[in-house]
């Protein structure tokens, strides 16, 4: 990872430079995809500002922290960047998992008969608006079965491929 450090309205001492390199270098241990880091240290009146921009595989991550001490600002900046790097790392892992799950079919699953697993389910009484809110909150589910509090019937609200919602009411 290439680290570029610059200073504005303050002197960039060797101690500050090595401290920033040490802190930002720790991020590379968390994620190898960090291409470069651009860190700007500046002072405005009594405020010590640490500003950073990371290039992670074409994605830009920015953060800025201010305190009364430059070392504290750098520490706070590192914490923010660490959280953002972890989010990106998790996002990349989930993309890789979903991609591998979509294209991999084991020989065992293709040759065996599908099992029918019976589950007991008691639908909750909800209005259609409440069911819609529950379905939108749970992004991993495509449908919700509920007991309509308006008409007492069992209903299914489902997400269609085009993004619309379908609504099934039993007799």
Q: 86-138: per-residue pLDDT in tens?
A: 888 888 777 766 655 555 455 455 556 777 877 777 788 889 888 888 888 87
pLDDT of residue 51: 93
Query: Residue 61 corresponds to which tokens in the numbers above?
Result: 């991550």
Q: Residue 51: which of 88, 35, 163, 61 has the closest Cα?
A: 61
Instruction: Write down all domains in the chain, each with its CATH number in brackets.
Output: 2-90 (3.30.160.100), 124-169 (3.30.505.50)
Is residue 72 pLDDT above 60, yes or no?
yes
pLDDT of residue 15: 92
Mean pLDDT of the chain: 84
- Segment 159-170 shows an average pLDDT of 87
pLDDT of residue 39: 92
pLDDT of residue 17: 92
| Contact (CB, 8 A) for 81 and 63 | yes
What is d(CA 5, CA 14) in angstroms, rounded to the nearest whole number? 11
What is d(CA 134, CA 128) in angstroms, rounded to the nearest whole number? 10
143 forms bridges with which residues in the sheet? 158
Residue 20: how many other CB atoms lie within 10 Å? 23
Vertex 143 angle, CA 140 and 149, to 5°: 130
Quickly tell me which residue has 């190898």 as its tokens: 32
Is residue 58 pLDDT above 80, yes or no?
no
What is d(CA 27, CA 37) in angstroms, rounded to the nearest whole number? 10
Q: 6-21: per-residue pLDDT in tens?
A: 999 988 899 999 999 9
* DSSP, residue by residue, 23-85: HHHHHHHH-TTEEEEEEEEEEETTEEEEEEEEEETTEEEEEEEEESSHHHHHHHHHHHHHHHH
């Amino acid at each position: 990872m290439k680290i570029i450090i610059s200073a504005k309205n303050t002197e960039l001492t060797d101690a500050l430079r090595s401290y920033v390199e040490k802190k930002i270098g720790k991020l590379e241990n968390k994620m190898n995809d960090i291409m470069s880091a651009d860190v700007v240290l500046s002072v405005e009146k009594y405020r010590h500002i640490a500003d950073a921009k990371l290039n992670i595989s074409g994605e830009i991550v920015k953060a800025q922290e201010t305190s009364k001490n430059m070392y504290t600002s750098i520490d706070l900046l590192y914490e923010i960047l660490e959280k953002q790097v972890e989010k990106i790392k998790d996002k990349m892992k989930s993309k890789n998992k979903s991609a591998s799950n979509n294209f991999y079919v084991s020989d065992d699953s293709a040759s065996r008969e599908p099992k029918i697993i019976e589950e007991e389910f008691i639908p909750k009484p909800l209005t259609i608006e409440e069911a819609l809110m529950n379905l939108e909150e749970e992004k991993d589910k495509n449908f919700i079965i509920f007991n309509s509090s308006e008409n007492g019937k069992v209903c299914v609200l489902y997400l269609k491929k085009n993004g619309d919602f379908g609504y099934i009411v039993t007799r």
